[in-house]
Amino acid sequence: MAGIKILKNKIPFIITMFSCVTVAALAATVQAGKKADIAETAAQTESRQVIVLDAGHGGMDSGCVAVNGTYEKDINLDIVKDLGELLTLNGCKVVYTREEDISMHDEGVEGIRNQKISDMENRLELVKSYPDSIFLSVHQNLYTEPAYFGAQMFYTTNNSSNRRLAQIMQKRFAALQPGNDREIKLIDNGLYLFKTTEQPALLIECGFLSNPGDAEKLSDPEYRKKVAFTIYSGLAEFLSGEADKSGSGDIRDTESLLYMQ
């Protein structure tokens, strides 16, 4: 149970708690594309906090398909790219499992099942090659009942900080998504990418593509930016050490996660 190594002194901006003014300023900065100054600050140190971002699925694996026809893989990638930009601008080193609409399987592997296995093995190898990182995997959920909506965080007990990270992130999404009272869910013995990862890690299901409301919002690039900023701000709070310790962590409803294994 390795504790988290937070390089607080190396990331002065990200550990600053956000005010609305900060949020607005940051959003304006990103939208205006004024990257140079902040990026220059980020480049001042070699020992930046590493964040590994995983956009779920890709290539021949579309993930869920929303009720409006949008592919999960595309939503995941868009959110991860926006999130990665925010993190990079604020001094983190960002490592992506994929930055395009591709599967990460080895060349020459044939058959969808084998390609999927190879894809997951390669993603895991990348995650494990950054043991001092924080690992975030972004997905969208699907359920047979269309009424289910809202983001939900999934975590393991492999790292003692994971539960706190999940709680903070769930709280942040509750602010973005009024009425979302979901609770964090333990996935020990669960998903391949999370079984053996020892650094702080979190599976973020941003919403249900089986829910018409979520599907419509998540198909909108502007809403995806809000999702990215929600994740970013949750990570900032986690890194700041000012966690909200509340939350029961009770398990609510089941999720369709088989496609991830």
Please report, as ranges, the residues that interact with Zn ion according to CB under 5 A: 56, 63, 139
- Shorter beta-carbon distance to Zn ion: residue 242 or 253: 253
Proportion of the chain in helix, strand, coil states, percent, rounded to 5:
40, 15, 45
Closest CA to 26 of 206, 16, 135, 220: 16
Residues contacting 92, CB < 8 A, separation 6+:
11, 14, 42, 48, 49, 50, 51
State the angle between helix axes of 221-240 and 162-176 in degrees (0 to 180), rounded to the nearest 10: 140
- Shorter beta-carbon distance to Zn ion: residue 48 or 182: 182
Q: Which amino acid is at 220?
A: D
- Shorter beta-carbon distance to Zn ion: residue 63 or 200: 63
Q: How far is the CB of 64 from Zn ion (least distance, A)?
A: 6
Beta strand pairing call for 152-155 and 201-208: antiparallel
- Shorter beta-carbon distance to Zn ion: residue 86 or 204: 204
Q: How far is the CB of 151 from Zn ion (least distance, A)?
A: 13
Q: How far is the CB of 129 from Zn ion (least distance, A)?
A: 23
Alpha carbon distance 180, 62 (integer Å): 26
- Shorter beta-carbon distance to Zn ion: residue 93 or 139: 139
Q: How far is the CB of 191 from Zn ion (least distance, A)?
A: 10
Q: How far is the CB of 68 from Zn ion (least distance, A)?
A: 17
- Shorter beta-carbon distance to Zn ion: residue 65 or 186: 65
- Shorter beta-carbon distance to Zn ion: residue 72 or 237: 72
Q: Which residue is nearest to Zn ion (CB)?
A: 139
Q: Which amino acid is at 108?
A: G
Q: In what order do the strands lie in the sheet with 152-155?
A: 93-96, 50-55, 134-141, 201-208, 152-155, 185-186
Q: How far is the CB of 85 from Zn ion (least distance, A)?
A: 22
Measured in whole angstroms, the distance separating CA 126 from the mean position of its chain's CA atoms is 16
- What angle is formed at CA 140 by the lines to CA 57 and CA 242, rounded to 5 degrees? 110
Q: How far is the CB of 66 from Zn ion (least distance, A)?
A: 12
